[in-house]
């Protein structure tokens, strides 16, 4: 049985350089590149999470461009990826959309560029995902300087950072999404 995987890109609650909890701006590249990665690796849904009305409107316009506008005409396959995308104001709203009234408790997986200890390795999570396919897995990615502590604390799994340099970890979130999905879901 194929695992049920969902990804969430959080723009709130995340932290800034000073460690303050903030809402970050949505970027066009993150929206469609993450949707393309999600489609490539067979992800069930992709959720962009922001509480800001202006950002929700921006995401809606970008998605419409690829589903109905000139982008849909120019690159029709992009609409297939964008069909996976949902906009939510909160993580709780995204989780409710994912479980959609089912009596199931999803496994929430947080990613982090910092080594926080007690992390699952990619190998451990891959084995868990492929042997326990009865539950949905929700993989969270943060923008800014990462997920706020309140998000990390509610996670069932904290995934190890990508890469090893302790003094450099500024990988773009869209690269992190692609690498994570490849490590967890590729057939190799």
Average confidence (pLDDT) over 132-161 = 96
State the pLDDT at residue 188.
63
CATH number of the domain at 82, please.
3.40.1280.10
What's the pLDDT band for 169 if we cut at 50, 70, 90?
low
pTM over 0.75? The answer is yes
Q: What is the pLDDT of residues 95-137, one digit of tens each?
A: 999 999 899 999 999 999 888 877 899 999 999 999 999 999 9
Q: Is the pLDDT of residue 63 over 70?
A: yes
Task: Quote the percentage of the chain above a pLDDT of 70.
Answer: 96
The pLDDT, as a whole number, for residue 33 is: 96
pLDDT, tens digit, 9 for 90 and up, residues 29-49: 999 999 999 999 999 999 999
Note the pLDDT tens digit of each residue in 84-93: 999 999 999 9
pLDDT at 167: 65
Non-local CB neighbours of 146 within 8 Å, separated by 6+ positions = 14, 15, 112, 113, 114
Of the candidates 125, 163, 162, 126, the residue with the CA atom closest to the CA atom of residue 141: 162
pLDDT at 1 (0 to 100) = 82
Structure tokens at 142: 């943060």
The Cα angle at residue 81 between residues 59 and 34, in degrees rounded to 5: 65
Neighbours of 188 (CB within 10 A): 4
pLDDT at 59 over 90: yes
Total domains in the fold of the chain: 1
What does pLDDT average to over the chain?
A: 94
What pLDDT score was predicted for residue 55? 98
pLDDT-based confidence at residue 69 (cuts at 50, 70, 90): confident
Range of the domain at 131: 4-185
Q: Quick one: pLDDT at residue 165?
A: 62
In this prediction, residue 173 has a pLDDT band, given cuts at 50, 70 and 90, of: very high
pLDDT above 90 for 9:
yes
């Amino acid at each position: 049985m194929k695992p049920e995987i969902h990804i969430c890109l959080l723009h709130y609650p995340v932290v800034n350089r000073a460690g303050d909890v903030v809402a970050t701006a949505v970027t066009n590249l993150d929206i469609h590149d993450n949707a393309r990665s999600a489609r490539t690796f067979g992800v069930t849904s992709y959720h962009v999470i922001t509480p800001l009305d202006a950002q929700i409107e921006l995401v809606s316009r970008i998605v419409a461009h690829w589903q109905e506008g000139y982008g849909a005409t120019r690159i029709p396959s992009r609409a297939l990826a964008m069909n996976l995308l949902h906009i939510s104001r909160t993580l709780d709203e995204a989780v409710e959309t994912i479980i959609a009234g089912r009596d199931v408790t999803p496994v929430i997986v947080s990613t982090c560029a910092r080594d926080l200890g007690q992390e699952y390795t990619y190998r451990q999570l891959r084995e868990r995902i492929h042997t326990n396919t009865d539950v949905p897995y929700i993989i969270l990615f943060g923008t800014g300087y990462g997920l706020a502590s309140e998000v990390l604390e509610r996670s069932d799994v904290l995934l190890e950072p990508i890469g090893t340099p302790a003094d450099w970890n500024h990988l773009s979130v869209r690269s992190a999404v692609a690498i994570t999905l490849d490590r967890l879901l590729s057939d190799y």
